[in-house]
Amino acid sequence: MSGGALADTNMADLEARINQLESRLAETEQQADAAQQQAANFEFHGYARSGLLSNDEFSGATGTGAYMSAAGALGASVGRLGLEDDHYVEANLVHNRVTDNGSKAYFKIMLADGVETNNDWAPDDSDLNVRQLYTELSDLTWFSGAFEHASIWAGKRFDRDNFDIHFVDSDIVFLAGTGAGIYDIQLSENWKANVSIYGRDFGTIDSASTDVENYIATINNRFGAWQLMLSGMHSVDNDNRTTDSASPTQRAEKGVHALLAYHGDNFYGLSDGFSKTGVLSGVGLGSELKGIGSNGNLNDDAKAVRFFTYGATNFADNWRIAPSLMAEVSEDRVKENDQFKWVSANVRLAQVFNPNFEIVYEGSYQYMNLDNTADQAKGSFYKVTLAPTLKLSTVGGFFDRPELRFAVSYVDWSEALDNYSVSLASDASTMGNGGEALFALQMETWF
Amino acid sequence: MSGGALADTNMADLEARINQLESRLAETEQQADAAQQQAANFEFHGYARSGLLSNDEFSGATGTGAYMSAAGALGASVGRLGLEDDHYVEANLVHNRVTDNGSKAYFKIMLADGVETNNDWAPDDSDLNVRQLYTELSDLTWFSGAFEHASIWAGKRFDRDNFDIHFVDSDIVFLAGTGAGIYDIQLSENWKANVSIYGRDFGTIDSASTDVENYIATINNRFGAWQLMLSGMHSVDNDNRTTDSASPTQRAEKGVHALLAYHGDNFYGLSDGFSKTGVLSGVGLGSELKGIGSNGNLNDDAKAVRFFTYGATNFADNWRIAPSLMAEVSEDRVKENDQFKWVSANVRLAQVFNPNFEIVYEGSYQYMNLDNTADQAKGSFYKVTLAPTLKLSTVGGFFDRPELRFAVSYVDWSEALDNYSVSLASDASTMGNGGEALFALQMETWF
Amino acid sequence: MSGGALADTNMADLEARINQLESRLAETEQQADAAQQQAANFEFHGYARSGLLSNDEFSGATGTGAYMSAAGALGASVGRLGLEDDHYVEANLVHNRVTDNGSKAYFKIMLADGVETNNDWAPDDSDLNVRQLYTELSDLTWFSGAFEHASIWAGKRFDRDNFDIHFVDSDIVFLAGTGAGIYDIQLSENWKANVSIYGRDFGTIDSASTDVENYIATINNRFGAWQLMLSGMHSVDNDNRTTDSASPTQRAEKGVHALLAYHGDNFYGLSDGFSKTGVLSGVGLGSELKGIGSNGNLNDDAKAVRFFTYGATNFADNWRIAPSLMAEVSEDRVKENDQFKWVSANVRLAQVFNPNFEIVYEGSYQYMNLDNTADQAKGSFYKVTLAPTLKLSTVGGFFDRPELRFAVSYVDWSEALDNYSVSLASDASTMGNGGEALFALQMETWF
């Protein structure tokens, strides 16, 4: 037998094996594709924090959290680190569907719960509820022009473009409720807009069995790094709801709200990182500046203005810093002639020791001058926290999770604020007396 | 060097690469297989609707939905399009397990919630609960003969073979509860049967601390397109439950229920599509014709008969139609000598404009003649709805979801029905006065 | 053309196809890998039981379950088979994250619910709540020495090393709550330890608005098959909570709890299988022996000791047996001078008929001698159960699930125990009179 003949034989053999490989691979490609598609059709996302909080007498601490100060009822929060006593979870179950022509549907259910009890079986405390339930369509072949990259949604949701200062547990705007809207309408090369209508419930007038709802129309514009968001709202019959006997008032039926913000992609021009600065203002129902249109207990001519700025950067090897400042003045808010002023400053620092460990420091200061027409109080709130922190990875910076932390905090405030409450209700909870050390063991994660 | 030697060298090289490819591919095949299996072991399915509803005074509309008319309390629904004010979700978490010999276990948890509030954080309104919790075994190698393709289940569930008129939000039969059963027993070539026992709870007699339960035995037969379903039920002590003082009555302890239906695979012989027609009847506890055995407040000699027919077809290029008709007569239902008659007709039309957009129309008419022994009322209910609708895909027809819709409806009814209630309870809610326009923004999906 | 030239041509062709195969396979390998990773990042696990229970008068049976006897309130359970009337589910949603250097984060949400109603829509009965919510970090590159294989966690959870006698629905220890801890510290070659702090809530003193919490510090040691677990606990102000007026008492503020156990990897040295034997004892708050630190209603000098042993083996072809014994003596438990003694024996047998069917038998006997200072009672509780059982697979033995079962049981007890309650509260529920047959249809699964 010649070499050529042998080669032919072998070659036929190799060719057969290649044929087989090709057909097996084609099948496996399909299978891998199908598996990936199947996995992609379902998404699981979440946020959670859960921990133990104790005061220095080893009693469980109640009424704490970032909104623990007297001004907390007005939306004035302090640094959250080491103050949280709750078990809060958001579990998102997402279903994706993609058609052959590339159109996409995104459906989300958000289950959420927040309880204080440390016990594992707690149905009586359970606050489990569905916070979001909506569908969003995108990449519709039918959309073109300014709408080419737009997506459209309906249902109950948190608005996509809400943003927050994580460290003080406060959104800048938290637009949420039930409605419909369109994102990313390209009005010009540098102008993108979202429009939406959201409904909120303020309660029921039993005699007429009507729901009092608030309808909020919003246009949210982005011009490069600048954001201008305008909202108008109308709640028929809101002035006819039974008012709290402790604070009879002429409730607002309408409102206007505006946000102007600058979203910087560096830390105030000084270093890498980010910084965001802006101002919010509103009248009537619009004077609830964070949760737009969510508060029905506002006076007819309530008015408020709020300033904020915050950012984060690395300021040395293995050191990170995230300062924030928020301040608000509001008047005629719940009753004619009430007046509330507060300013809240917070700094979080992280000192990185290795890929899994850092020490986190937080200092909070808040000044408040509060006049609910019946009582007046002014003074300051202070908090310092030290938190040795384990992370899955310190590489991702401030916003990398999960974290497991031990935190020790000291909180105190001016005596003038002891037992003061913004609310006029006789059973309103107050912040009690200051001067307390708090110990926390907590996990926090998101994904 | 000769060409043959060179060829040999190259060939050895190619063979080595082929060897490597074969072993890599074998590994990848396993991995793709494992990934696909892993993905298949978990399934996520759901149904959801969520939206905003407003009347023409921009107040939230309460008490609406497909069962809003006076006869709604009897199970008489009207077209649902544009009337729904709730946020309803069913989230199914499924675990599959398959043994090496091919036996299969299917386990389902259904979480469900339904609230009216448009607010995103609503634990006080939350109705989140577990509606289904069952396991089904199939392909057991041990099963043979008539049972060869049978599956067997136990737990809490909706019966597999329930079916509904989606457009009027009404099941034809909705058998559900806790029990056990066998599906798909092949009794002859053309006869397949399911048998089951379901338990339902009617409440508690506190003095004796006994649960009053209703046990329902059902045989559900299919002979080709024909279905004959027979149910008998028995609820010991149901006549000893405290009766509503407004309607003292001798409650039934037993009942019989029958359904005869024809499941057509075309639209009444006229065109492609489907149509289903049938009649239900029952006595005693069986006179609740839809939710078999679910109503304990029925009179000892209650009797009822119901007729239904519905279907769907394309009747022109880009036009679809889905008519339905349901009618019921019941007597001695809650009290001796009460009598209730109603007939409900509904038509939904869809006009397709492009792959993502259609306009949907719905017209509903309902006639009712109601005598609860204390009051009598007869008259009609009308509704028309127009709903521009965005779909991920219009190709799938009436039942393709998700849909995002805006709907405007006008509803009205005879003055004689104003404020009439089937219930004799003094605080029974009524339908109020008619003549109202309703505006809806809603999403609906299932998968 | 020579054979060599032809071979060269073909060879170039084959080589091209191999090149293509290699590049396609590389892509597919990545895709299969990604799909597998994506699937692995989410895990769904669960436990569930759901079924129908009826007594011989076809009334729903209430107040049953493994803790139905008079001593049940003390943690004395009997064999569960055929007694369960509830729909209990644990649905675990798990998110895994692995970093490039191999560090791992494991996050778990456990949703749980337990209701008695057989109805499918039961929001008013719903007990849906979040029982676990924690994060665990492991394989941290930073950990070394004794901590090299340690994992660390924080949040709300069931302790990882809890263990139970499944057949009597009782954990040996059930440590759970909110806290933090470290698992698997290797203190010497044969000594592994876990340390943890857990917090529990006992209620609120409204006047001072303080939470009464119990803090439990535990070290749980394993020396080969031996386990020594020591817990100390302290609950400030627990003696100041309002006491049940029916049983005024000096509540404990502190407690100590110890468990010594032997985990055998065979059936008492007799055959294959397993067996576990041990003793638990505690004083003060530690005298709740199962749910460590979970009971705040314990007397200042309460004391208790409990013995347990259980195991499982195959004792003949197609026969399995699982006996268990538990006994406890406690004194000064709720009030000075109360005294409670009980012993509970249970045997479950399974006779395997084929890969999907077995008949399960269970016999339970419990002796109790109970003195709550106001009333005394002693006597016995008996139960026998026969349960034809369908399984997906009988190969996995006692612990293979799912199972679908029909069970008929007969339960009876000494007349002296009729209507006896351990609790002194006037409205305490009692076990009523004995001598009852119970019928059950139930599914049970875990995965």
Opening angle at CA A342, ends A158 and A242, nearest 5: 60
Is residue B80 within 8 A of residue B387, CB to CB? The reply is no
Q: Hey, what amino acid is at C233?
A: M
Tell me if chain B has a CB within 8 Å of the CB of C126.
yes
Interface probe for A, chosen from C110, C178, C198 (most Cβ of A below 10 Å), is C178
The three-state secondary structure class of A7 is: helix
Is residue C165 within 8 A of residue C142, CB to CB? The reply is no
Round the CA-based radius of gyration of chain A to a whole number and report it.
27
> How much is the pLDDT for B243?
63
pLDDT surpasses 90 at B128: yes
Q: Cβ–Cβ of B140/C60 closer than 8 Å?
A: no
pLDDT surpasses 90 at C247: no
Interface probe for B, chosen from C356, C443, C446 (most Cβ of B below 10 Å), is C443
Closest residue in A to B429 (Cα–Cα): A209
Give C403's strand partners.
C391, C444
Chain B contact set for A195 (CB, 8 A): none
Chain C contact set for B238 (CB, 8 A): none
Tell me if chain B has a CB within 8 Å of the CB of A24.
yes
Q: How confident is the model at residue B333 (pLDDT cuts 50, 70, 90)?
A: very high
Q: Give me chain C's average pLDDT, please.
A: 93
Please tell me the least confidently modeled range out of C192-206, C320-334, C338-352: C192-206
What H or E segment, with its residue span, contains residue C362? strand C357-371
> How much is the pLDDT for B296?
95
What H or E segment, with its residue span, contains residue A379? strand A376-391
For β-strands C254-264 and C274-284, DSSP reports them as: antiparallel
For β-strands C163-165 and B151-158, DSSP reports them as: unpaired
Matching residue, tokens 């019946």? A374
What are the structural domains of chain A? Answer: 3-446 (2.40.170.10)
What H or E segment, with its residue span, contains residue C156? strand C151-158
Residue B325 to residue B348: CA distance in whole angstroms: 12
Beta strands in A265-302 (DSSP E): 274-284
Tell me if chain B has a CB within 8 Å of the CB of A112.
yes
pLDDT surpasses 60 at B246: no
Instruction: Please report the number of interchain residue pairs, chain B to chain C, with beta-carbon separation below 8 angstroms.
Output: 223
Q: φ and ψ at C287, to 5 degrees? A: -80, 0
Does the model's ipTM exceed the 0.85 cut? yes
> How much is the pLDDT for C2?
55
Q: Whose CA is closest to A346, among A312, A323, A380?
A: A323
Tell me if chain B has a CB within 8 Å of the CB of C14.
yes
Closest residue in C to B94 (Cα–Cα): C44
pLDDT surpasses 70 at C328: yes
Per-residue pLDDT of chain A (447 residues; tens, 9 = 90+): 455 666 677 788 888 888 999 899 999 989 888 888 888 999 999 999 999 999 888 876 666 799 999 999 999 999 999 999 999 999 999 999 999 999 999 999 999 999 999 999 999 999 999 999 999 999 999 899 999 999 999 999 999 999 999 999 999 999 999 999 999 999 999 999 999 999 999 988 766 667 899 999 999 999 999 999 999 999 999 988 766 665 567 899 999 999 999 999 999 999 999 999 999 999 999 999 999 999 999 999 999 999 999 999 999 989 999 999 999 999 999 999 999 999 999 999 999 999 999 999 999 999 999 999 999 999 999 999 999 999 999 988 999 999 999 999 999 999 999 989 988 877 777 777 888 999 999 999 999
Chains in contact with B via at least 3 Cβ–Cβ pairs below 8 Å: A, C
- Record the tokens describing residue C177, joined without a space: 């709550």
Q: How confident is the model at residue B1 (pLDDT cuts 50, 70, 90)?
A: very low
Residue C345 to residue C333: CA distance in whole angstroms: 23
Taking residues C132-153, report their average pLDDT.
96
Residue A417 to residue A430: CA distance in whole angstroms: 9
Output the DSSP codes for B176-243.
EEEEEEEEEEEEETTEEEEEEEEEEEEEEEGGGTEEEEEEEEEEEEEETTEEEEEEEEE-TTGGGSPP
Q: Cβ–Cβ of C60/B153 closer than 8 Å?
A: no
Is residue A226 within 8 A of residue A190, CB to CB? The reply is no
Q: Whose CA is closest to B212, among B253, B159, B256?
A: B253
pLDDT surpasses 70 at B208: no
Min distance C235 CA to chain A CA atoms (Å): 8
Burial C194-224 (b: 16+ CB within 10 A, else e): bebbbbbbbebbeeeebbbbbbbbbebbbee
Burial B345-383 (b: 16+ CB within 10 A, else e): bbbbbbebeebbebebbbbbbbbbebbbeeeebbbbbbb
- Record the tokens describing residue B173, joined without a space: 């039969």
pLDDT tens for C64-99 read 799 999 999 999 999 999 999 999 999 999 999 999
Q: Cβ–Cβ of C60/B111 closer than 8 Å?
A: no
Taking residues C11-15, report their average pLDDT.
85
- Record the tokens describing residue A317, joined without a space: 């090897």
Sign of the torsion angle spanned by Cα atoms B220, B223, B228, B230:
negative
Is residue C86 within 8 A of residue C94, CB to CB? The reply is no
The three-state secondary structure class of A361 is: strand
Chain B contact set for A107 (CB, 8 A): 46, 48, 402, 445, 447
- Name the DSSP class of C64: -
Q: Give me chain B's average pLDDT, please.
A: 93
> How much is the pLDDT for A174?
98
The three-state secondary structure class of A119 is: coil
Give A50's strand partners.
A443
Residue A95 to residue A32: CA distance in whole angstroms: 20
* CB atoms inside a 10 Å sphere around CB C190: 10
Residue A159 to residue A404: CA distance in whole angstroms: 29
For β-strands B42-55 and A274-284, DSSP reports them as: unpaired
> How much is the pLDDT for C58?
82
pLDDT tens for B46-59 read 999 999 999 888 87
Q: Cβ–Cβ of A236/B46 closer than 8 Å?
A: no
Tell me if chain C has a CB within 8 Å of the CB of B5.
no
Q: Whose CA is closest to B296, among B339, B341, B333, B337?
A: B333
For a pLDDT cut of 90, what percent of chain C falls above it? 80
